[in-house]
């Protein structure tokens, strides 16, 4: 996820930087680093878990609830022998 994409995500949800930080469990300053793309001249990568959390929030998921996930058929049993 690029800094531009991250900022577009935040703005598309109508979130201020502090609100985005709260929803992602981060500090506002980290949000600023992600949007700028660097910290003290060094490139800042947006971690995959943050990117996935952004997707979840964009889809309306505020917290994990297994009950809302679609059932998945496995090719075998989950039971232990």
- At 78 the pLDDT is 55
In a domain, 40, yes or no: yes
In a domain, 75, yes or no: no
Q: Please report, in angstroms and rounded to a whole number, the separation of the first and last CA atoms in the chain.
A: 42
* Mean pLDDT of all residues in 42-46: 96
In a domain, 21, yes or no: yes
In a domain, 27, yes or no: yes
Domain that holds residue 37: 3-63
Examine the pLDDT at 36 and tell me if it is beyond 80. Answer: yes
Cα 41–chain centre separation: 24
Please give the tally of structural domains in the chain.
1
In a domain, 57, yes or no: yes
Give tens-digit pLDDT for 47-76. Answer: 999 999 999 999 998 877 777 667 777 655
Count other Cβ atoms within 10 Å, centred on residue 20. Answer: 23
47, 34 Cβ separation under 8 angstroms: no
In a domain, 29, yes or no: yes
In a domain, 38, yes or no: yes
CATH number of 45's domain: 1.10.260.40
Residue 33's SS3 state is helix
């Amino acid at each position: 996820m690029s800094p531009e994409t991250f900022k577009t995500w935040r703005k598309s949800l109508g979130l201020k930087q502090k609100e985005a930080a709260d929803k992602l469990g981060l500090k506002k300053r980290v949000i600023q680093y992600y949007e700028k793309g660097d910290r003290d001249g060094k490139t800042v990568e947006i971690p995959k878990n943050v990117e996935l959390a952004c997707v979840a929030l964009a889809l309306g998921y505020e917290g994990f609830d297994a009950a809302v996930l679609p059932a998945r058929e496995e090719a075998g049993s989950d039971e232990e022998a």
